[in-house]
Structure 1
Amino acid sequence: MTDDTAPDLRASDADRERVAEVLRDALAEGRLDMTEFEERLDATYRARTYGELAPITRDLPAGSAAVAPPVSLRKDAGERGWADRIVGGEGSSAGAVAVMSGFQRKGRWTVPRKFTCFAFWGGGEIDLREADFAGREVEINCVAIMGGVEIVVPPGVEVVVRGVGIMGGFDQREDGVPGDPGAPRVVVTGLAFWGGVGVERKATRAERQRLREERRRERLEGGGGGHRELDGSRHEPPAGLHDPHRRRRQNEAGY
């Protein structure tokens, strides 16, 4: 579950959706029959607190990681070190499928050592910016047939692209970029046939906010007053600018 000290805190739609995803995986793996799946899914969408969500996946693999801790009880992913984010164990979700539809894996989730996804006439997004990792190296295997998959990684993660494109392609821009010490390594494999797999590096929302605050402080501390003086000068024309005799004096002086 999340944090046992906060069972009465209200759960979000994203929390419920992560639990539902664990249930779908359990159904596909034969851990739940259809009746159990429907009962638990109904309970998931009726749940209002973390305490109500916890029992739904307690007996399933990765069930304890299905719901992210409330923001007020944890540090943001952008503030956690890599050692805190390589957590071992199993992933929250082993894979995803989009057939003439779409899928998303984003927010606080645990990437398994191998995640497999399939997109046929559809698309998917795999966002690792706030994710934890089951191992120091994880593999994301993508099969995109007349569809596409977008993988978003945070700064500092090493990316290796080994996918094969047939009338399609794998984005190679991030391939081989060195990672931070201790950061996970993400290996992207698979096949793109009349489709594509993109890899994009983006900062987390917390990191972008931190950078904006730093730039704001630098502007205020490093010449903010000078800017204000320049701004003020635009509103105070130089002396004589509106003098009706100024142009005549300039002509007489030969300007």
Structure 2
Amino acid sequence: MTSLPEDSPPLIGEDDRDTAVQRLQEAYGEGLIAHEELDERLQQVLTAKAHGELVSALVSLPETHPGTASTIAAGGGRIRRRGAWRVPRVLKVESAFGRVRLDLSRAIIEHPVVDIELQLGTGRARITVPRDAVVEVEGVHTGWKDLRYKTPQRSHPGGPTIRISGTLGFGRLKIRHSRR
């Protein structure tokens, strides 16, 4: 077995590399870096051999905020959020059975882009988004019933982008814009 010289830099683990790639993708999704810059930085991260090379690829990005991801999970019963609740940057919702109701119409949304990741077995889900929100649903996979969402006829610019993704087994997902 060959040993490394004592003065060689520590090697990077796959977890460190994966975290760096995820952070770059988040920065791109939030509009902090351009597509070309994302490609350059990803190349740097994927070919990095030492920790310092990873750090230099992430150096100009703002620090990630703790608490920007949250998971709501229930085996059965209801999951309900409404009123003035703080919406994290990434919200994961997991439910085996039961209803899910997320009302973001009066919620505190501090991020320009919010990702809602659904993992639902059976039961219905209803998400109410702010009137001025842009909703993206390309990442939703339904098993039994189709997704119900109509893009509003009038656009109200300036709202957050709500990206909804995930899998629904035997339930239906209904998304609507609030009227106020």
TM-score, reference length from structure 2: 0.57
Query: Alpha carbons of 1:185 and 1:159: their partners in 2 closer, same or farther (altered >3 Å)?
Result: same
Question: What is the aligned partner in structure 1 of residue 146 from structure 2?
Answer: 169
Bigger Rg over Cα: 1
Structure 1 unaligned residues grouped into runs of 5+ = 1-87, 205-255
Q: Which amino acid aligns with 1:194?
A: F
Q: Which amino acid aligns with 1:114?
A: V
Identity over aligned pairs, percent:
22
Question: What is the aligned partner in structure 2 of residue 133 from structure 1?
Answer: 109
Q: Which amino acid aligns with 2:99?
A: G
The answer to whether structure 1 residue 107 and structure 2 residue 83 are counterparts is yes
Question: What is the aligned partner in structure 2 of residue 194 from structure 1?
Answer: 170
Q: Which amino acid aligns with 1:168?
A: K
RMSD of aligned residue pairs (Cα, Å): 2.4
Question: What is the aligned partner in structure 2 of residue 203 from structure 1?
Answer: 179
Distance 2:103 2:126 in 1: 8
Matches within 5 A, 1:1-255: 94-162=70-138, 163-174=140-151, 179-204=155-180
* C-alpha contact (below 8 Å) 1:146/1:193 kept by paired residues: yes
Query: Alpha carbons of 1:101 and 1:157: their partners in 2 closer, same or farther (altered >3 Å)?
Result: same
Runs of 4+ in structure 1 off by over 6 angstroms are none
Distance 1:122 1:199 in 2: 17
Query: Alpha carbons of 1:171 and 1:101: their partners in 2 closer, same or farther (altered >3 Å)?
Result: same
Q: Which amino acid aligns with 1:167?
A: W
- Tell me by how many angstroms 1:104 deviates: 0.9
- Tell me by how many angstroms 1:172 deviates: 3.1
Structure with the largest fraction of helix: 1
Distance 1:197 1:148 in 2: 6
TM-score, reference length from structure 1: 0.41
Structure 2 unaligned residues grouped into runs of 5+ = 1-63
Query: Alignment partner of 2:111: what SS?
Result: coil
- Tell me by how many angstroms 1:93 deviates: 7.4
